[in-house]
Chains A and B, each alone.
Chain A
Amino acid sequence: MITDDQVIALFADANPVPSLDLLDPVEPVDPGHLTNRSERGRDMTELKTKVPSVVAPRRGRRLVPALAAVAVAVVAIPLLVSRGGIVGDGTRSEEVATAFMEAISEYDGQAAYELFSPDGVHQEGPPVVIVGWSDFDRAVQLARTNQGCDELTPVSFPDGTGADAVECAFLVQTAAGEAMGLDSTTGTFMVYVEDGEIVRTTETWDGESVGVLDTIAFRDWIQVNHPEAYETMFENPNTPPDKPNAPPDSEAIALFERYTAEFVAELGS
């Protein structure tokens, strides 16, 4: 019987290119042919930002919130006098942000929504979409594990208003990602709180795997195994990927729920 070491050695020997000598010589590069690095090209940034435009209806968790965060960061000016993060009723802004994170992680979109001020902004749209997205997160078994919230320097916005800035970190994993063996990734919610109400939130995910590779694999699997559902799930006019503030409709969410479970079960079998 073949030993463990022999199997490993066999795999090592199965290397399709065991020696660099088997390859053609590397042609010298002509510096004159190097492109201007300032030109937009197919670099890692593009690899990262291209994905959301072709995959599942997502909230633009990478590009849009990143842009929003940059916009906030650019206009935000530290207040001269610290507000101390205490709102009128004595509730710390950090506690408001923590309550928001708990609601999000428990798929209670309604509770998260009710923490916003009437003119609050989630990502770049109305916060009511959180309700629909929470249903979607539950359907695809997207789990956020809160890592805690920290209050940062308060900020002021161009319209003269100010807010406490609270950064909440979390780990995120999806059922599909876990079934595929992907590691969870880290993410951050920036929660801006004024007088006990959330005035703005932005969400960013740090990793490349969860939310990208699992979505791609799942989408491809749907194409092969449930082509009749593909359009409703991924090309639904009500859930265009380029409109991250529109959550999937109930029909799409139901399909995501059913087929996520099937996808995970098949991977695990």
Chain B
Amino acid sequence: MKTGTRHEQAMTDDEARFVEIYRRFGKPIQAYCARRTAGSQVADAVADVFLVAWRRIDQIPVGDAALPWLYGVAYRVLSHQWRHKARIRKLDERLRGLAEVEVLTPDVLVVRSEEYRVVLAASAQLKPVDQEILRLTLWEELSHADVATVLGIEPSAVKQRAYRARQNLTDEYRKLTRDRQPPAARKGGGS
């Protein structure tokens, strides 16, 4: 009976830890998912993230370090969900070019501002990893070290990519806004 008691105690500890993790980080994970997927899919995504967390409770870092770990799970869960939906759409958009600036990501359901729409369209032109680095640093406000944890890459690589992503975002934004102006208004237009 000694073994059984110890086992039951261990399960109780795991459950208590899981409840605490969920209480502390449920909302940030919910926000992470809501920023990246349609409203109807957020609950499923969050549930998937915490199902993984429960099954891997022994591997979750203690304290605040648990959040980047959970973001990493969410990143992969959403990648999994998007495979058959957004990937076809986004890749198709990218390959066909954005003659008409149109962001078909779920974000557009929330963000209606024209400027926001354009800057999101500009971000959609970046490499997926760079897009995610921008979101993690600017929306989740993570440090480069935490972004590295989420994406499973080196912090130095995050720093380089973040710098490049910002540059590219600016370039793409200017390109899109310039393309949307009438030819005569463009620099050197009419040639």
Range, interface on chain B: 35 or more
B95 at the interface (CB under 8 A from A): yes
Closest B residue by C-beta to A13: B116
Q: Once bound together, how far apart are the Cα atoms of A43 and B87, in whole Å?
A: 21
Which residue in A10, A14, A29 is a CB contact (below 8 Å) of B107? A14
Residues of A within 8 A of B (CB): 2, 4, 7-8, 10-17, 20, 23-24, 26, 28-29, 31, 34-35, 37, 41-44, 47, 180-183, 207-208, 213, 216-217, 220-221, 223-225, 266-267
Contact check, A217 vs B139: say whether CB atoms are below 8 A apart: no
Provide the residues of chain B in CB contact with A182, threshold 8 Å. 129
Within the complex, the shortest CB–CB distance from A200 to chain B, in Å, comes to: 30
Q: Once bound together, how far apart are the Cα atoms of A42 and B44, in whole Å?
A: 12
Within the complex, the shortest CB–CB distance from B186 to chain A, in Å, comes to: 13
Contact check, A20 vs B15: say whether CB atoms are below 8 A apart: no
Contact check, A221 vs B95: say whether CB atoms are below 8 A apart: yes
Contact check, B115 vs A16: say whether CB atoms are below 8 A apart: no
Among A14, A37, A182, A223, the most chain B Cβ lie within 10 Å of the Cβ of A14
Known: A47-B76, A47-B80. A7 touches B119 (CB 8 A): yes
Contact check, B31 vs A20: say whether CB atoms are below 8 A apart: yes
Contact check, B52 vs A43: say whether CB atoms are below 8 A apart: yes
Contact check, A35 vs B76: say whether CB atoms are below 8 A apart: no
Contact check, A12 vs B139: say whether CB atoms are below 8 A apart: yes
Which residue in A17, A34, A207 is a CB contact (below 8 Å) of B34? A17
Closest B residue by C-beta to A19: B31
Within the complex, the shortest CB–CB distance from B172 to chain A, in Å, comes to: 9
Contact check, A8 vs B31: say whether CB atoms are below 8 A apart: no
Contact check, A216 vs B83: say whether CB atoms are below 8 A apart: yes
Beyond the given A16-B34, A26-B26, A220-B84, please list 4 additional residue pairs across the A-B interface where CB-CB is below 8 A: A14-B119, A17-B110, A29-B22, A216-B83
Provide the residues of chain A in CB contact with B119, threshold 8 Å. 7, 10-11, 14
Within the complex, the shortest CB–CB distance from B170 to chain A, in Å, comes to: 5
Contact check, B170 vs A4: say whether CB atoms are below 8 A apart: yes
Provide the residues of chain B in CB contact with A213, threshold 8 Å. 79
Q: Once bound together, how far apart are the Cα atoms of A213 and B76, in whole Å?
A: 11
Known: A14-B119, A47-B76. A31 touches B15 (CB 8 A): yes
Provide the residues of chain A in CB contact with B153, threshold 8 Å. 183
Q: Once bound together, how far apart are the Cα atoms of A11 and B123, in whole Å?
A: 8
Closest A residue by C-beta to B126: A181
